[in-house]
Every structure is written in C-alpha cells, then in structure tokens.
C-alpha cells in the first residue's frame, strides 16, 4: 500500500486568503511553507488503482501535481474517480464539484454524510448534467465486511457526532465524523486516517495499536490556541479537535503507538506550520512528526 499526501492544511489552507497571522505571513514569505487542504491518494498493489480520501477545493491542483495520478499512457482522460469521505465538511467535499469532468464519480461515505450531501448540498442534482455520481455505503469498522476499493479493504471508525455547520440541525449520529481504516490484504498492512478528532475512545485506541501508519488530527497545538489567536471563542476541543500537546493532548497517547504517526490538518494558527518552531523537536522526542506536502508513505 502506498499513501500519497496531497495536502495537510485545515480549512482555508495555508496561507488563508483573509488572514495575516504569523503562519499565513510566513507562508507568503516562504512558499515552501504553503499547504493545501488535507487529503490522501491511496494505492493498492496495482499502481494504476487508487482512491482519494476526501475531495478538497484544491483537488485539481493536487491531482495535477502528482504525475502518477494523471491519465496514463494511451488514456486521454481519467474515466472513473473513486472518493472516500471521512465526513461532510465543506473542506473535504467541495472538490467533488471540481471532479465533474470524470465520466463517473464513485463516492463511499457513511449514511448521515450521504444524506447531508444529497439534501443540504444537493450534489447529485447539481452534478447530474455533467457526470454520473454514484453513492456507496461505507461500512463501519467491525460491522460486517469492509468495502473493497482499488484492491484495498476500507471501513469507517465512528469518531463523533460533529456535523458541518450547514447541517447543524440534522439528527445526531456517531458516524458523522469518522476515521478511515485501510487494509492491504496482499501485505496485511493497514493505515488509519483521522483528520478530525473530537474525543479519544477505546475503539480508536485499539485501531491505532493495530495500524502500521496513523495520520491524525493536528489542527491545534494546544487547547487555548483558537481563543488566544482570535479565531474562535471556543477551545480546540470545543471546536471538535483534540489538541496535540497539553492536558488531554494526543501526543502523550500516541508516543506509545508502534505505528508511524504523522499529524495532518494543521490550522494556519498552529505553530507547527513553521518548520523552525521548537514544537517539532518536542514531537520528535516522542517519535512523532508532522506530515509534509507531497510526502509518500510506503507500507
């Protein structure tokens, strides 16, 4: 299995168009610090078979920037594109509109996510004049057989009932936000992708213990970052993201994991967007690191 990191930023990317915080200003001065919205391309044994984990507003740039994801030799177009969603957030779904040139888009997601994307954001109706949008149920981990996508086994681990703002009045459901568990049956390796994590749970702990690679929510470095930087009156946890450091942070839990651990979904206010920030050394001391743009992970 091969994981291509297509982006590592939280909503708005880095720099964010309307922001002049130190992270955004630094990214404007140093283009190497720029980050696209977090997403993965996941390959199985066949390098030509792959799927997207989330479809971001940057999807066209993300695909064009990776030669292996462009149409192959003798192929004028990419006929079918496969997308697996972790949630219904705009930053993870608006890219479906930019994929309309495909002859067919196959989307796997949980039932509440599908409802939001077909009623609140009527994507099927919007895209039907351009392409065929086919929806598939994404099985929950431990509840039946996983979906087979691009030769890989994929299921969703429920994480929280956190809904996107446009669907805030929809009924609560534990699978509004999920982690994707991807297993390669040929090599028996697995990866866990959780760009939004509101609370730790025993099932999550168990899945991390069994994974070879974990890509986890690194939105905020500490609990008070959103309030301190003025992006919100709420704390990190109050916004649905466990902080990396401090009391209740994920770093102290993750350093015991045997898996390769990479933080993704970094907010523009997070000091970790600066490669020279001391927080990188603290994470390295725990055997943890931040995912970088265009990184490739082989499992």
Euclidean distance between CA atoms 7 and 196, whole angstroms: 14
Mean pLDDT to the nearest integer, 248-277: 95
Q: What is the pLDDT of residues 152-170, one digit of tens each?
A: 999 999 999 999 999 999 9
pLDDT at res. 73: 66
CB 269 within 8 A of CB 241: no
Mean pLDDT to the nearest integer, 73-98: 91
- pLDDT level of residue 60 (50, 70, 90 thresholds): very high
**Which 3 state secondary structure label does DSSP give 87?**
coil
pLDDT at res. 219: 98
Global pTM value: 0.96
Mean pLDDT to the nearest integer, 119-143: 96
Lowest mean pLDDT among 109-113, 151-155, 201-205, 256-260: 256-260
Q: Which residue spans within the chain are E strands per DSSP? A: 2-7, 39-43, 50-53, 80-84, 104-109, 132-137, 147-149, 152-160, 177-184, 189-194, 213-217, 260-264, 289-290, 296-298
pLDDT at res. 142: 87
Q: What is the pLDDT of residues 21-41, one digit of tens each?
A: 999 999 999 999 999 999 999
Tokens 């959103």 locate to 226
Lowest mean pLDDT among 68-82, 179-193, 243-257: 68-82
Q: What is the pLDDT of residues 63-81, one digit of tens each?
A: 999 999 988 766 777 888 9
Euclidean distance between CA atoms 126 and 143, whole angstroms: 32
pLDDT at res. 205: 95
Residue 125 pLDDT > 80? yes
pLDDT at res. 74: 66
Residue 1 pLDDT > 90? yes
CATH number of 2-292: 3.60.15.10
């Amino acid at each position: 299995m091969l994981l291509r990191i297509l982006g590592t930023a939280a909503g708005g990317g880095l720099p964010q168009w309307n922001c002049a915080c130190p992270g955004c200003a630094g990214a404007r001065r140093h283009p190497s610090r720029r980050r696209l919205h977090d997403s993965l391309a996941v390959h199985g044994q066949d390098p030509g078979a792959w799927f997207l984990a989330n479809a971001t507003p940057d999807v066209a740039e993300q695909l064009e920037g990776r030669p292996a994801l462009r149409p192959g030799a003798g192929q004028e177009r990419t006929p079918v594109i496969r997308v697996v969603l972790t949630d219904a957030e705009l930053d993870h779904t608006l890219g479906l509109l930019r994929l309309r040139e495909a002859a067919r888009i196959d989307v796997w997601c949980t039932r509440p996510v599908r409802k939001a994307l077909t009623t609140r954001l009527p994507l099927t109706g919007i895209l039907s004049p351009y392409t065929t949008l086919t929806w598939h149920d994404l099985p929950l981990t431990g509840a039946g057989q996983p979906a087979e996508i691009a030769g890989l086994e994929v299921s969703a681990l429920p994480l929280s009932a956190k809904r996107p703002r446009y669907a805030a009045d929809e009924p609560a459901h534990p699978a509004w936000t999920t982690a994707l568990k991807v297993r390669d049956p040929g090599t028996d390796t697995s990866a866990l992708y959780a760009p939004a994590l509101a609370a730790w749970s025993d099932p999550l702990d168990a899945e991390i213990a069994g994974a070879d690679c974990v890509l986890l929510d690194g939105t905020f470095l500490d609990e008070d970052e959103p309030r301190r930087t003025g992006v919100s009156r709420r704390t990190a946890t109050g916004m649905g993201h466990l902080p990396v450091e401090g009391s209740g942070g994920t770093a102290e839990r993750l350093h015991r994991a045997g898996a390769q651990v990479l933080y993704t979904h970094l907010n523009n206010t997070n000091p970790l967007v600066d490669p020279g920030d001391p927080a990188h050394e603290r994470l390295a001391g725990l055997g943890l690191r931040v995912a970088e743009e265009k990184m490739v992970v082989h499992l």
